[in-house]
Structure 1
Amino acid sequence: MNQSADRKVIDNATLWIGDGQCFDGHVVVSGQRIEAVERGRYGGDLPVTDLGGMALSPGLIDIMVGGAFDLSLLHDDQVEVARQYLALGVTAFQTTLGTVETDDWPRLAGKCRAGMAYEGLDASRNLGALCEGPFYDAQFIGANNAALVWPATPADVDRFLEVCGDIARMVNVSPGIEGDVEAVRTLHAAGKIVEMSHSGASAERVTACVDAGISQVGHMWNNNQSSPAEPGVQQPTVEHVTLTDDRVRFIHLITDGTHVHPMMIDLTIKCRGLGSICVVSDAINRAGVPDGPFTFDSGLEAEKVNGVGRLPSGQLAGSARLLPDDFRHFVNVTGILPHVAIQTVTRNAAQAAAVDDEIGMLSPGLCADFAAWDDGLRVRRVWRGGREVDAVGDLMEVAYAGQGS
Structure 2
Amino acid sequence: MYQQLKTDLINYSKEIGIDKIGFAAADPFLELKQKLINQQELGYASGFEEKDIEKRVNPALLIDQPRSIIAIALAYPSKLENAPKGKKGERRGLFCRASWGEDYHSILRRKLAMLESFLLERLPDVQLRSMVDTGELSDRAVAERAGIGWSAKNCAIITPEFGSYVYLGEMLTNVPFEPDVPMESQCGSCTKCIDACPTSALIQGGQLNSQRCIAYLTQTKGILPEQFRKHLGNRLYGCDTCQTVCPENKGKHVLIHEEMIPEPEQVKPLLEPILSISNKEFKERFGEMSGSWRGKKPIQRNAIIALAHFKEESSIRALVHVLEEDPRPVLRGTAAYAIGQIGGAEAERALKQALSREKEEEVLFEMEKALQTLRSVL
The two structures have a TM-score, normalised by structure 2, of: 0.25
Could you say which structure has the larger radius of gyration?
A: 2
